[in-house]
């Protein structure tokens, strides 16, 4: 149990990657705040609570961190997972559509990380979910690629500023992950093409990302900071 008695907040924890991370944290002995706009189905009964939060709203973020401290007595780990990826042509994208993705995907990392770092003890861990879109362009996702590239850049800067507090700041960059949003797409041919492009021969599972996040959240990763670790089955190697 690599996270025994650690206290963690996971944003975007209602389903998909966030839910997988939060559930794995519980298995590893942590006490977990599941955060999302709506409460996850079948919430665990022990060592877990739900706190509703719009991560692009600074007051709600402050309340999220406050609730974690009040319910469990502190905060050791933050996972910035909340994100959206609405496809839209660059030439047709509105300013409002751009702002929404940047606010939810990138501004939230600033807000949540700042609030968490102010209360974390020495040895705290901040882990953000970036994407291979930080390194590879995807048509129809200019706003998403920009937000994920921003996460990886921000992680490097935050790691430097928080090094004196011995707070590790890192990111995971998933490739194609089999979540309700991805597997539920009506474009089955696109899914087949994606799998064909992955050397491992399959889409990733939320558990694949959760395993990497648990490692970064554990004491075994104490000397790793400012990094974005790609977990994509080799997709970006081609």
How many whole angstroms separate alpha carbon 66 and alpha carbon 212?
A: 27
Is 144 part of the annotated catalytic residue set?
A: yes
Residue 31, token pair as written in the block: 């006490």
**Residue of 34, 85, 144, 223 with catalytic role:** 144
Burial classification of residue 137, based on how many CB atoms lie within 10 Å of its CB (0-12 exposed, 13-18 middle, 19 or more buried):
exposed
Residue pair 170/228 in contact by the 8 Å Cβ criterion: yes
How many whole angstroms separate alpha carbon 153 and alpha carbon 37?
A: 27
Residue appearing with tokens 């955060």 = 35
How many whole angstroms separate alpha carbon 199 and alpha carbon 203?
A: 10
Catalytic machinery residues: 144
């Amino acid at each position: 149990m690599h996270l025994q008695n650690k206290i963690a907040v996971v944003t975007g924890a209602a389903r998909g990657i966030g839910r997988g991370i939060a559930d794995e944290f519980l298995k590893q002995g942590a006490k977990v705040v599941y955060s999302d706009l709506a409460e996850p189905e079948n919430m665990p009964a022990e060592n877990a609570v739900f706190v509703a939060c719009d991560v692009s709203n600074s007051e709600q973020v402050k309340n999220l961190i406050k609730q974690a401290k009040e319910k469990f007595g502190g905060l050791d780990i933050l996972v910035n997972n909340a994100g959206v990826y609405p496809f839209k042509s660059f030439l047709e994208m509105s300013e409002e559509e751009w702002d929404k993705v940047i606010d939810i995907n990138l501004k939230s990392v600033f807000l949540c990380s700042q609030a968490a770092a102010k209360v974390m003890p020495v040895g705290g861990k901040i882990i953000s979910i970036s994407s291979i879109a930080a390194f590879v362009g995807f048509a129809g996702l200019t706003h998403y690629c920009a937000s994920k590239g921003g996460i990886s850049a921000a992680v490097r800067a935050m790691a430097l500023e928080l090094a004196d507090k011995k707070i590790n700041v890192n990111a995971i960059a998933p490739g194609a992950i089999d979540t309700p949003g991805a597997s539920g797409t009506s474009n089955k041919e696109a899914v087949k093409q994606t799998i064909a492009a992955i050397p491992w021969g399959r889409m990733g599972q939320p558990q694949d990302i959760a395993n990497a996040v648990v490692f970064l959240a554990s004491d075994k990763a104490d000397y790793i900071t400012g990094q974005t670790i790609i977990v994509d089955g080799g997709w970006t190697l081609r």
